[in-house]
A = this chain, B = another copy of it.
Amino acid sequence: MNENRKHDSNAQDRTDRDWDLLYEIRQRVIQSVAKNMDLFGVTPSVGRLYGTMYFHGQPMTLDEMRDELGMSKTSMSTGVRSLQEIHMVYQTWKKGVRKDLYQAEEDWYKTFIELFTTKWRKAIEINSKEVSNAKGLLEHLWQNTHDENLKRIVAEDLEKLQHASEYYDWLSRLVESFETGEIFKFIPKKSEA
């Protein structure tokens, strides 16, 4: 082995170690982010999938994901689909590429708001409906029953439901401020430091 090749080889080794280090650092961030993604109702594996795509930066195929994560292609398929459903990943096209290409949404404000609003909107809608329905029924019951004890309890319940309605109204306005972006007037993206 001559001096030149020895030198080259050492340089290459160093560079290899540098690349390894990069992936190691990424991995730690991905793991951390993925672990906390259950707040979005996303499972850690799917979270890791998102993180991998996020750092990959460019469109990825299902096969690449499988190689990167060492999981089955089917898992990648379902994982990507669930990420698409919550708009954290979108499909892209590239001329001449046959495989499906997917890319991670990079705007985290957007994903946060998207997730928060859709999840809570649904809950608010369902619950408010149920609450106002119950209110109607209880009012009717209150007017028609002859049992004074029951009447008192029903009145209490009605008060509880009234509180619930007001709470859902507040929550709805909160969600709206996210949907419209009004929230950024109150909490601006850049902190004035």
Interface 0/1 of A109-146, CB less than 8 Å to B = 10010000001101100110011011001100100111
- Cβ 8 A contact of A138, one of B25, B147, B187: B25
- Cβ 8 A contact of A189, one of B29, B33, B145, B166: B166
22 CB contacts below 8 A, A to B, read A18-B147, A19-B150, A22-B150, A22-B157, A25-B134, A26-B134, A28-B130, A32-B127, A33-B130, A36-B122, A38-B41, A39-B123, A57-B156, A106-B160, A106-B163, A108-B164, A108-B167, A112-B171, A166-B189, A170-B187, A174-B187, A186-B186
The smallest C-beta distance from A180 to any residue of chain B, in angstroms, reads 12
Complex-state Cα separation, A143 to B122, whole angstroms: 49
List residues of A (1-43) whose CB comes within 8 Å of B's CBs.
Answer: 11, 14-15, 18-19, 21-22, 25-26, 28-29, 32-33, 35-36, 38-39, 41
B residues near A144, Cβ cutoff 8 Å: 18
* A150-B15 in contact given A112-B171, A157-B22, A186-B177 (Cβ < 8 Å): yes
B residues near A170, Cβ cutoff 8 Å: 109, 187-189, 191
B residues near A147, Cβ cutoff 8 Å: 15, 18-19
The residue among A35, A131, A170 with the most chain B CB atoms within 10 A of its own CB is A170
Complex-state Cα separation, A186 to B137, whole angstroms: 34
Complex-state Cα separation, A22 to B151, whole angstroms: 10
Q: CB-nearest residue of chain B relative to A178?
A: B174
Give me 12 other A-B pairs in contact (C-beta within 8 A), A26-B134, A36-B126 excluded. Answer: A19-B150, A22-B141, A25-B134, A33-B127, A36-B127, A39-B119, A55-B157, A108-B163, A169-B191, A170-B187, A174-B183, A174-B187
